[in-house]
Chains A and B, each alone.
Chain A
Amino acid sequence: MLQFDARRKLAEFEWQGRLELQPGVTALYGQSGAGKTSLVNMIAGLLTPDEGEIAIGGTCVFASRKGVNLPPEQRPVGVVFQDGRLFPHLTVRGNLQYGRRRGKGSAPALEELVELLELESLLDRRPMSLSGGEQQRVAIGRALRTAPDVLLLDEPLAGLDGERRGEVLGFLERLKQDRDRVIVYVTHRMEEVVRLADRLVLIDRGVVQSAGGLQDLLGRPELQALTGQRTAGALLSCRIEQADDGDGLSRLSCAGHSLFLARLGLPPGADVVLQVRAGDVSLSLERPRRSSVLNVMRGTVERVVQEDSALADVVVNVGQTLWARVTRRSVRELALAPGVEVYATIKAASLYSAN
C-alpha cells in the first residue's frame, strides 16, 4: 500500500493531494499540467516535498517532521518514464541488468522478463536502434527487474503512435496479473484508463478531485469536465451470452437486461466492458414499440444535471449507472426527475467494447 500526504510548491500551483493506493492498477488521470509527473517524482524521491509524509507498505520513505527522506535508490519504487530514458551506452541486456532489487518480492529472472516482454531478439542491440515501442518495453522490463513494491508508469505511451501504443498496451495488460504490486498509471487518455485500471484518481492542479472505482467515477456527470466523458462515456459491465445470434450480433447480459451489438468475436461467458456515450442514449416513458432500436433498459432516474441552457444529463440507474444527454425541453415535457421510471434506449450500432 502507498500512502501519500504531502505538499510541495510548484511553478504554477501547490501540490496538496492526499492519496492512499492499494495493490492493483490505479490510473492517475488529469490534463497536462495537472501535477501528475510531480506526484510521480515525489513518490520516487526525485522531488522533495516541502512537508508531509509518504509511506510505502508501512515503511516511511519521507516524513518532514521526523527528518526522514530516503534517496530514490533506497525506495522500493520503480519508474517507467514517458521518454524511456534507456542508457544509450549500454545494450538492451545491459539496461535490463542495471537495476538493483529493492522491493520485498524476489527479482524476476532476466529470462522471465525477456519472455514476458518478448525481448529475445533485442538483447544485444543498443537503445538508439530500437523503435519507440520496443524502447518502452525494455524500460518496463528494466523497472520490473528491481522488484519494486510500487511501479510508477508516467505516461509510458505518450510518445508513441497509435499502432505502437496498442502493442505496448498489450504488454502492460500482462502486468495486471501481478496482484501484490501497487501500480500507478499516469495518463491523460481515457481509453488507456478504461483498458488497464481498476481504480481511478482524478487530479487537477495539484489537488485530488476524486478517487474510487473506475465505473463509479466515470458514471458521475459532475466529473465530466475532468474525465472528458463526452468522448469516453459511461461503462457497463456485461457478459457474453451468445457469441452470434444468427444475425451477426452478439447477445450480452447486463444487470438483468439483454443487449445486442455487432459480433465481438468473443466466446460466451467472456466479460466485456461497454462504453456508452451519453449522447447515444435516449429516454422514453413507455417501452418503445416497432422501433429500430434493439437495446431497451428499464431504470429509474437518479439525478438530472443541467449541462447548459439547452441540454441536461440524466443519470439513470438500470442496475448499473447509465447516463443520457437530452434536451432540457424533453426533461420538462417528460417531467424527468429523481424516482421517475424510464426506458433507456441505445442503438446497437453505437455500442462498442471498451476493452
Chain B
Amino acid sequence: MTPVWEIAALSLKVSLWAVACSLPAGIACAWVLARCRFPGKILLDGLVHLPLVTPPVVVGYLLLIVLGRNGWLGRLLYDWLGLTFTFTWRGAAVAAAVMAFPLMVRAIRLGIESVDRRLEEAARTLGATPARSLFTVTLPLAAPGLLTGALLAFARCLGEFGATITFVSNVPGQTRTLPLAIYTLLQTPEGETAAAWLAGVSLALAIVALAASEMAARAVRKRLS
C-alpha cells in the first residue's frame, strides 16, 4: 500500500487543480446566470446542476464517452496537446471538477446576486466598461461568495468517488485518491486499520479547509464593512 501522505498529497493535488481550473468557468457561469437574461437560460441552469442530480457513475460514464481516448473530445485533446485523461490524475481532477461544479456555481451566483447592481451602474457612469466594472466592483464585492464557492467545491472534490472510479479507474499513485484508497483497503483483509487512518486524514483535511474558509470569509467581510 502507498504511504498515507502520498495518498493525501494526491488527493490535494487533484482537488486543487480541479478547483483552480474550473473556477474561471464557474465565475463565468455564475455571472451569466445572475446577471443576464436570454432565452435558454433555464437550459444552462439545468445543465450546470445536472451533476448534482445525476448518479455519479453516470457522470463518470459520460466523461468516459466524451473524454476517453476514443471519445470525440478526448481524441482531439490527445492529438493536439498530447493530453491523456484515462487512468491519470488529470482525469481524476476533471471528474472531481465536474461533480463539484454545481456547488461552486450556486455559491458564486449567490455572491454576485448580493452585489448591488446600482454600484455597477455607478461604475459605468464613471467610465468603466462592463468588463472593468465586473473585475473592479462586482467580483471584489462578491468575494465572500467566490470564497465559499471555491471552498465548497474543494471539499466536494476531496470526497469525489463514483465518477472518478468509473472514468479513470483506481490506479495507485494516479487516481487512487483518499476515498478510493479507503474503499480499496476495506476490500482487503486486515486493511481496516489503515482505512481508519485514512478516514481520519480525510476528516482532518475537511476541518482545516472549513476553518480556513471561515477565517478568510471573516477577513473579507471585515474589509468590506
Report B188-225 CB contacts with A as 1/0, cut-off 8 Å: 00000000000000000000000000000000000111
Distance A89 CA – B141 CA, assembled complex (angstroms):
7
Tell which of B116, B126, B130 touches A143, judged by Cβ atoms closer than 8 Å: B126
Q: Is A204 an interface residue (CB 8 A)?
A: no
> Which residues of chain A are within 8 angstroms of B119 by Cβ–Cβ distance?
85, 87
For the complex, would chain A's binding face be called helix, strand, loop or mixed by DSSP majority?
A: loop
Pairwise interchain contact B125-A72, C-beta atoms closer than 8 A: yes
Given A88-B225, A89-B140, A89-B223, also A98-B118 (CB < 8 A): no
Pairwise interchain contact A81-B118, C-beta atoms closer than 8 A: yes
Pairwise interchain contact B225-A128, C-beta atoms closer than 8 A: yes
Q: Is A293 an interface residue (CB 8 A)?
A: no
Of chain A, the residue at the smallest CB distance from B124 is A72
> Which residues of chain A are within 8 angstroms of B136 by Cβ–Cβ distance?
98
Pairwise interchain contact A99-B124, C-beta atoms closer than 8 A: no
Q: Is B121 an interface residue (CB 8 A)?
A: yes
Given A73-B129, A81-B118, A128-B225, also A87-B137 (CB < 8 A): yes
Q: Is A201 an interface residue (CB 8 A)?
A: no
Residues in B114-165 with C-beta less than 8 Å from chain A: 116, 118-119, 121-130, 136-137, 140-141
Of chain A, the residue at the smallest CB distance from B119 is A85
Distance A79 CA – B126 CA, assembled complex (angstroms):
8
Distance A301 CA – B171 CA, assembled complex (angstroms):
103
The smallest C-beta distance from B117 to any residue of chain A, in angstroms, reads 10
Q: Is A78 an interface residue (CB 8 A)?
A: yes
> Which residues of chain A are within 8 angstroms of B118 by Cβ–Cβ distance?
81, 83, 85
The smallest C-beta distance from B129 to any residue of chain A, in angstroms, reads 6
Q: Is A49 an interface residue (CB 8 A)?
A: no
Chain B CB within 10 A, most for which of A78, A85, A99, A143: A85
> Which residues of chain B are within 8 angstroms of A44 by Cβ–Cβ distance?
125
Q: Is A24 an interface residue (CB 8 A)?
A: no
Q: Is A100 an interface residue (CB 8 A)?
A: yes
> Which residues of chain B are within 8 angstroms of A102 by Cβ–Cβ distance?
127
Tell which of A79, A100, A128 touches B122, judged by Cβ atoms closer than 8 Å: A79
Given A46-B121, A81-B118, A83-B118, also A88-B126 (CB < 8 A): no
Pairwise interchain contact A98-B224, C-beta atoms closer than 8 A: no
Given A88-B225, A89-B140, A89-B141, also A98-B123 (CB < 8 A): yes
The smallest C-beta distance from A253 to any residue of chain B, in angstroms, reads 45
The smallest C-beta distance from A48 to any residue of chain B, in angstroms, reads 13
Given A85-B119, A87-B137, A88-B141, also A98-B126 (CB < 8 A): yes
Report A28-50 CB contacts with B as 1/0, cut-off 8 Å: 00000000000000001110000
Q: Is A142 an interface residue (CB 8 A)?
A: yes
By a beta-carbon cutoff of 8 Å, the part of chain B in contact with chain A is 116, 118-119, 121-130, 136-137, 140-141, 223-225
By a beta-carbon cutoff of 8 Å, the part of chain A in contact with chain B is 44-46, 71-73, 77-79, 81, 83, 85, 87-89, 98-102, 128, 142-143, 146
A85-B119, A89-B141 given; 15 more Cβ-contact pairs under 8 Å: A46-B124, A46-B125, A72-B121, A73-B125, A73-B127, A78-B125, A83-B118, A87-B122, A87-B123, A87-B141, A98-B126, A100-B128, A142-B126, A146-B126, A146-B127
10 A-B pairs with the lowest CB-CB distances in the bound complex, closest first? A100-B127, A72-B124, A99-B126, A85-B122, A79-B125, A73-B127, A89-B140, A72-B125, A46-B121, A44-B125
Q: List 20 A-B contacts (CB under 8 A).
A: A45-B124, A46-B124, A71-B129, A72-B125, A73-B125, A73-B126, A77-B125, A85-B119, A85-B121, A85-B122, A87-B141, A88-B141, A88-B225, A89-B140, A89-B223, A89-B224, A98-B123, A99-B126, A100-B126, A101-B127
